[in-house]
Amino acid sequence: MSLSAAAFVKGFVEYREDSQIRGVILNQISPMMYPRLKQIIEETLPVKVYGYVPVVKDCVLESRHLGLVMPEEIADLHDKLMKLADILERSVDIDGLLELAEGAEELPVQEPLTGYHTKRSVRIALAKDEAFCFFYQDNLELLEEMGAQLIPFSPIHDEKLPENIDGMLFHGGYPELYAKALSENKKMLTSVREAVQAGIPYMAECGGFMYLHQEMEDMEGHSWPMAGVIPGKSWRTPRLTRFGYITLEDGTCFGKNVGGIRAHEFHYFDSDNCGESYTARKPLSSRSWNCIHSDRQGMSGFPHMYYYSNLQVPEQFLRTCEERKA
């Protein structure tokens, strides 16, 4: 174990000449083993060991099929975090880490210039509840910076969309855990479907994309009627499907060619109608696949897009919302 740990650290340190790795913290190591591992690593490699994280069984945070359990679902989360903090204060060299950080070079940071701002406030209905809880906060803040007013609503608990909206956002989460409740909220499903039929612009990704299907399976394989915006069915697969970082290419965003869009996919579900408006390409790989439904009214698909990778994406969405409002 000692030599294996040293070899593991050596691989990361020396794989690139500019790795910038100056120290390590050893995870799930026993107090008895730590001194020996620390000695071997520091004697053979140009890095310092700044402590260890022991195994604390009663502080384990459970995971599910996507590895994410929401904080409000974890019993006694605050107490667990406080216990871990107390342990780490004794097992990790906090002062040493602060000293190391103070000696680091300043990182050049250039804030992206958004440029675009709506001429008037644009009201965007944002699906947000226990079923839809996965967001890039940067994306939401960028939309607000560009002039969007985000109006949260719950596809589970509310009976209709917010009043006087100009657009809709359906992000990711765990709709498969709440498929029955989502399906039985017929008034909301009708409200969403009629909004799309009325021409309201929308964006939907991953779990939100699944919600817009005609049918969606739950975790037990039962099918439930959904919003019916996207023809077809979404179902569970036995493994991760199309996992990792991608670049979306060769498509149009609300009718405009905006170039490449960086995104990622991370889901156990698939669809018989993933869309063909874009080509998703994996970095450092020849692998690619078709995805995304995109037209002048909406974009929907499994990829989670990062708006700062292409500022024209949120701009085109808000322009479309504003043009319809006018």
Q: What is the mean pLDDT of the chain?
A: 91
Q: In angstroms, rounded to a whole number, what is the distance separating the alpha carbons of residues 59 and 82? A: 10
Please give the pLDDT value at position 239: 78
Sign of CA dihedral 132, 135, 140, 143: negative
Write out pLDDT tens, residues 193-245: 999 999 999 999 999 999 999 999 999 999 999 999 999 999 998 777 787 89
pLDDT digits (tens, 9 = 90+) for 305-321: 999 999 999 999 999 99
10 by Cβ neighbours in 10 Å (0-12 / 13-18 / 19+) ranks as: middle
At 137, which amino acid appears?
Q
Does residue 206 carry a catalytic annotation?
Answer: yes
Give the contacts of 72 (CB within 8 A, at least 6 positions apart): none
222: its two tokens: 């039962």
What residue ranges of the chain are covered by domains with CATH 3.40.50.880?
Answer: 122-325
Do 207 and 175 meet the contact criterion of CB atoms below 8 Å apart? yes
| Model confidence at 19: pLDDT above 70 | yes
CATH class of this structure's domain 122-325: alpha beta
CA distance 88 to 127: 38
Q: Half-sphere exposure of residue 144, counting CA atoms within 13 Å on the CB side? A: 9
Contact at 8 Å (CB) between 201 and 167?
yes
Give every CB contact of residue 127 below 8 A, 6+ residues apart in sequence: 152, 153, 154, 155, 168, 169, 170, 171, 208, 211
CA dist 133 and 135 (Å) reads: 6
Total count of residues recorded for the chain: 326
- Please give the pLDDT value at position 215: 97
Which of the pair, 251 or 106, is modelled with greater confidence?
251
Write out the DSSP string of 144-213: HHTTEEEEEE-TTT-SSPPTT-SEEEE-BS-GGGGHHHHHH-HHHHHHHHHHHHTT--EEEETHHHHHTE
pLDDT of amino acid 241: 75
Give the per-residue pLDDT at 67.
56
Place of tokens 């007013």: 149
Q: Which of 59, 133, 206, 274 is catalytic?
A: 206
The SS3 of residue 230 is: strand
pLDDT (mean) for 242-255: 93
pTM of this prediction? 0.82
**Is the confidence at residue 268, as pLDDT, over 70?**
yes
Per residue in 22-33, pLDDT tens? 999 999 889 999
pLDDT at 71 > cutoff 70: no
Q: For residue 134, is pLDDT > 80?
A: yes
Query: Could you give the count of Cα atoms lying within 13 Å of 59 in the half-sphere of its Cβ?
Result: 16
- Residue written as tokens 């103070």? 102
Q: Using 50, 70 and 90 to split pLDDT, how confident is the model at 170?
A: very high
**Residue 145 or residue 324, greater confidence:** 145
CB burial of 244-266 (b: ≥16 within 10 Å; e: otherwise) equals eebbbeebbbbeeebeebbbbbb
